[in-house]
Amino acid sequence: MGAKRGPKHLEGRVILEIRFLYQTDEYTQKDLAAKYNLSQSTICKIVNNYIHKNVPMISVGGTAGARVKARYSYGD
């Protein structure tokens, strides 16, 4: 496995994906760190909006408490 990379290389859509997936409660910060080859502390900073503040936060749920499940696939 390659070395973990810092958060500066991440695109806005990746930041949104990380925040979205974390809010679904299906992934832990450790799961996302492994999935995106980042450290758990970097994931923590992303989901808590300490870094990449220029990428808007998203909200899953709301007053009805709706849960959203999504799977991402990237075509080559």
Question: Domain map of the chain by residue range?
Answer: 1-65
Q: Is the pLDDT of residue 67 over 60?
A: no
Cα 51-73-24 angle, rounded to 5 deg: 55
Residue in 52, 71, 58 with CA at minimum distance from that of residue 10? 52
Q: pTM (2 decimals)? A: 0.62
Residues 52-74, mean pLDDT to the nearest whole number: 55
> pLDDT (tens digit, 9 = 90+) per residue, 16-48?
899 899 999 999 999 999 999 999 999 998 888
Which CATH number describes the domain made up of 1-65? Answer: 1.10.260
